[in-house]
Chains A and B, each alone.
Chain A
């Protein structure tokens, strides 16, 4: 199993960048790296950096076996598009594939991501504005959509967009033998019987163990591929939830340490 390859601290945004980038509501870039497999243990690393840094630095060669996505937030800009409610803020998602032009699957991702983000943003705060979220796929090695949801969320936090709560997304897949794997690689995704992308709301309560019908038990987004028994879906859900809360702790810690290092947000 691959551990985190990169020391996180090395990849934090240098101060010069951060002051520019941390300006409220400016375009912020967040890169999320996943290296987690082997059920049911999750292992991940989360890096926040400027994509320019990524391109200029050879040390960050794109290790194969990882899904990487850059999420950038721009906005809120004045005005909404046609067919959108001007009394609310509009969220626009632009999905850039790794190569080639965007096609049907990209527009599906755009739609799912847009609706997911719409349900976590406070849309009444900036009526008649548009916030654009640009997702650039750097490397697709399975669980692309969950990775993009997590990255977009972190980018929204970084940009200071008002949110109700965070969302945390994971991927579960069902192997032929009934085993459930978390966060499959691209190869596994193609070989397994079925896989499920799940996004859960991630509010502060999620960190605390809570019984009953807490918010974290609700599904925000679910996208499945392949045929499975109904019970299998629920066992994926059961396994997915603790994994998501673990990931949520991780994202919160990363965001916290980032905010701590950032002079413009220290106050």
Chain B
């Protein structure tokens, strides 16, 4: 006892771990980093276990649940609804994708009821920028009748449990929902309007009106983007941070690579630590690994889906 003169460093041996974690969160994490381990027993460059389940929402045209981490709850729910619209004059043979990200109060203690979360519109904008600029979806595939009808795709992503790296999980859920998407069959009726052929009376209608898009029931996804968020703290790089780590060590860098390892986005909004070129290289190497992991997870979940 008598030897503990220089503050928290020595207190750590006398205090309960939980108390130390609350009182000196940064020290607590730095002590772990010294040993190249994190409080949840991961090594620094390792991302959390990730799982995907396709077809979580029966009423949607395509949906997916993505879960990063070992929490009981799934973290992101993505669902797609499609509607027929008249395409814009400038792009007569292209459809449209509208992406929205929701953070309901249940997802995190930081989000309060009645007040929209600050992060939600930012993630939402980032998602639509990434998905549209990555060229994952060919908007021309969403066209039904040139200049007359095209698909409007509404993609809504709900965050059910915010535990760090929101954007990574949301992007994975979005990509999975798109790969699960089954485009409804539509046909032209006698008035020249597009109507959805419902499953029950699909048989009768087929005789009268030929479906417009019988072959095009699936979107061809190319260059699917995958994201990895890292924390930069001193000389350490922590991949896939939890919410606690994000709140304590503030410098985040999000790297999005597509399946052919092209850079889709490198996003670092400020933060006390600077990203030197070597650090960026290291982060990109980590994301390359992560892309492979996530691609495997996505392919497996698609295979599971087909078996069912």
Interface residues of A (CB under 8 A from B): 83, 103-105, 107-108, 111-112, 114-119, 194, 196, 199, 201, 213, 215, 217-230, 232-234, 237
Cβ A226 vs Cβ B122 within 8 A: no
Cβ B125 vs Cβ A223 within 8 A: no
**What's the minimum C-beta distance from A83 to chain B, rounded to whole angstroms?**
6
**What's the minimum C-beta distance from B96 to chain A, rounded to whole angstroms?**
16
Cβ A227 vs Cβ B263 within 8 A: yes
- Closest B residue to A115 by beta carbon equals B270
Partner of B271, one of A104, A115, A213, A233: A115
Cβ A223 vs Cβ B262 within 8 A: no
Cβ A223 vs Cβ B269 within 8 A: yes
Q: List the B side residues contacting A232 at CB < 8 Å.
A: 263
Taken together as a complex, chains A and B put the C-alpha atoms of A125 and B156 apart, in Å, by 42
Cβ B270 vs Cβ A117 within 8 A: yes
Within 60-85 of B, Cβ neighbours of A (below 8 Å) are at none
Partner of B267, one of A194, A217, A224, A237: A224
Q: 7 closest pairs, A vs B, by CB?
A: A218-B274, A115-B270, A116-B270, A104-B125, A115-B269, A219-B275, A107-B121
On whether A229 and B270 interact (CB within 8 A), knowing A107-B125, A218-B275, the answer reads no
Cβ B276 vs Cβ A218 within 8 A: yes
Question: Is the CB of B214 closer than 8 A to any CB of chain A?
Answer: no
Question: Is the CB of B261 closer than 8 A to any CB of chain A?
Answer: yes
- Closest A residue to B276 by beta carbon equals A218
Kindly supply a per-residue 1/0 record for chain B positions 122-148, scoring 1 wherever the CB is within 8 Å of any chain A CB and 0 otherwise.
Answer: 101110010001110000000000000
Taken together as a complex, chains A and B put the C-alpha atoms of A189 and B276 apart, in Å, by 26
On whether A227 and B258 interact (CB within 8 A), knowing A104-B121, A105-B125, A215-B274, the answer reads yes
On whether A225 and B129 interact (CB within 8 A), knowing A107-B121, A219-B280, A230-B263, the answer reads yes
Cβ A104 vs Cβ B124 within 8 A: yes
Residue among A83, A194, A213, A219 with max Cβ neighbours from chain B (10 Å)? A219
Taken together as a complex, chains A and B put the C-alpha atoms of A111 and B126 apart, in Å, by 12
Question: Is the CB of B110 closer than 8 A to any CB of chain A?
Answer: yes
Cβ A229 vs Cβ B269 within 8 A: no
Interface residues of B (CB under 8 A from A): 110, 118-119, 121-122, 124-126, 129, 133-135, 223, 253, 257-258, 261-272, 274-277, 280, 284
**What's the minimum C-beta distance from A106 to chain B, rounded to whole angstroms?**
9
Q: List the A side residues contacting B262 at CB < 8 Å.
A: 227-230
Q: List the B side residues contacting A103 at CB < 8 Å.
A: 121
**What's the minimum C-beta distance from B4 to chain A, rounded to whole angstroms?**
25
Cβ A222 vs Cβ B122 within 8 A: no
Cβ B267 vs Cβ A119 within 8 A: no
Q: List the B side residues contacting A219 at CB < 8 Å.
A: 268, 274-276, 280
Cβ A119 vs Cβ B270 within 8 A: yes
**What's the minimum C-beta distance from B95 to chain A, rounded to whole angstroms?**
20
Taken together as a complex, chains A and B put the C-alpha atoms of A220 and B258 apart, in Å, by 24
Residue among A194, A221, A230 with max Cβ neighbours from chain B (10 Å)? A230
Taken together as a complex, chains A and B put the C-alpha atoms of A103 and B116 apart, in Å, by 13
**What's the minimum C-beta distance from A170 to chain B, rounded to whole angstroms?**
15
Cβ B275 vs Cβ A229 within 8 A: no
Q: List the A side residues contacting B121 at CB < 8 Å.
A: 103-104, 107-108
Q: List the B side residues contacting A199 at CB < 8 Å.
A: 270
Taken together as a complex, chains A and B put the C-alpha atoms of A93 and B291 apart, in Å, by 35
On whether A227 and B264 interact (CB within 8 A), knowing A107-B122, A108-B125, the answer reads yes
Taken together as a complex, chains A and B put the C-alpha atoms of A116 and B122 apart, in Å, by 15
Cβ B270 vs Cβ A237 within 8 A: no
On whether A223 and B276 interact (CB within 8 A), knowing A104-B124, A107-B125, A108-B122, the answer reads no
**What's the minimum C-beta distance from A74 to chain B, rounded to whole angstroms?**
20
Partner of A118, one of B122, B257, B270, B284: B270
Cβ B134 vs Cβ A222 within 8 A: no
Taken together as a complex, chains A and B put the C-alpha atoms of A229 and B110 apart, in Å, by 37
On whether A221 and B269 interact (CB within 8 A), knowing A107-B122, A227-B135, the answer reads yes
On whether A225 and B133 interact (CB within 8 A), knowing A108-B126, A111-B269, the answer reads yes
Taken together as a complex, chains A and B put the C-alpha atoms of A229 and B223 apart, in Å, by 13
Write 7 A-B pairs (CB below 8 A) sorted by A numbering: A104-B121, A213-B276, A220-B268, A227-B258, A229-B262, A230-B262, A234-B277
Cβ B272 vs Cβ A119 within 8 A: yes
Q: List the A side residues contacting B129 at CB < 8 Å.
A: 225
Taken together as a complex, chains A and B put the C-alpha atoms of A219 and B265 apart, in Å, by 15
Taken together as a complex, chains A and B put the C-alpha atoms of A103 and B266 apart, in Å, by 22
Taken together as a complex, chains A and B put the C-alpha atoms of A217 and B263 apart, in Å, by 20
On whether A119 and B276 interact (CB within 8 A), knowing A225-B129, A230-B261, the answer reads no
On whether A237 and B277 interact (CB within 8 A), knowing A107-B125, A224-B266, the answer reads yes
**What's the minimum C-beta distance from A35 to chain B, rounded to whole angstroms?**
27
Cβ A229 vs Cβ B263 within 8 A: yes
Taken together as a complex, chains A and B put the C-alpha atoms of A191 and B266 apart, in Å, by 20
Partner of A222, one of B110, B118, B268, B284: B268
